[in-house]
Amino acid sequence: MSVSAEEQAFEPLIIVFGCNWCSYAGGDLAGTSRMSYPPNVRVIRVPCSSRVSPNFVLRAFQRGADGVLVAGCHPGDCHYVTGNYYARRRLSALRRFLEFIGIEPERFEVHWISGSEGAKFAKVMGEVTEKIRALGPNRKMRDVR
């Protein structure tokens, strides 16, 4: 049996929905501070973590993401005052539900990263990438067409 090219060198694709006010700025800080984090991570900027609809998460998985991460301001620090409180409830419900459908819960993560936590941003991205690399490619919710 030959090993497919994909398995030979599996590089996970991780989609990060980063809140404009904290986590995206945290990512910027990581960059301007010359901290490196894995290039597997693709950041999509959203106005607020509560902007992340489950549609986005599922679509990312469908189109080839191996892991999805939502990053927002710490509770209490939301630019819109309450957005991440809503996000916490909704994304918690979604995470448990994805697990119920059979998707490994590690594939969908939520982290609070502030604009001053460039180091944390880089660290979280590294950890998540390694976790997903160990888990292998997402074959459970992928549009195979």
Partner 1 sequence: MKQLNEVIKEVAAQSLSRGEVDLVIGWKKGDLWWQSYPAFVEGDEGVADLIWDPFCVPNLSRYLLEELDDKSKVAIFVKGCDALGFNQLLQDKRVEREKVYLYGIPCDGLVDPRKLEAAGHKWLSEVRRDGDELVLVSKEGEQRVKARDFMYDKCLTCRYPNPVTYDQMLGEAVEAQPQERFAGVEELEKISDDERFEYWARQFSRCIRCFACRNVCPACSCRECIFDIPEPRWLGKAKELSEDQFYHIIRAYHVAGRCVDCGECTRVCPVDLPLQELNRKFIKDINELYGEYDAGVDPETEAPLVTYNTNDPAAFTES
Q: Considering the complex, what minimum distance in angstroms separates the CB of residue 79 from partner 1?
A: 16
Segment contacting partner 1 by CB under 8 A, of 6-14, 17-25, 36-44, 88-96: 88-96
x-or-dash string of contact with partner 1, 41-70, rule CB under 8 A: -------------xx--xx-xx--------
- Phi first, then psi, for residue 127 (nearest 5°) are -65, -45
x-or-dash string of contact with partner 1, 110-139, rule CB under 8 A: xxx---------------------------
Segment contacting partner 1 by CB under 8 A, of 3-11, 13-21, 33-41, 107-115: 107-115
> In the complex with partner 1, which residue's Cβ is closer, 41 or 68?
68
Coil, strand or helix: which one is 55? helix
Give the separation between CA 11 and CA 67, rounded to whole angstroms.
11
All residues at 6 or more sequence positions from 14 whose CB lies less than 8 Å from its CB, including other chains:
38, 40, 41, 42, 65, 66, 67, 68, 69, 125, 128, 129, 132
The helix or strand, by DSSP H or E, that contains position 13, with its residue range, turns out to be none
Give the separation between CA 18 and CA 128, rounded to whole angstroms.
14
Question: Where on the chain is the footprint of partner 1 (CB under 8 A)?
Answer: 54-55, 58-59, 61-62, 75-76, 82, 85-86, 88-105, 109-112, 140-145
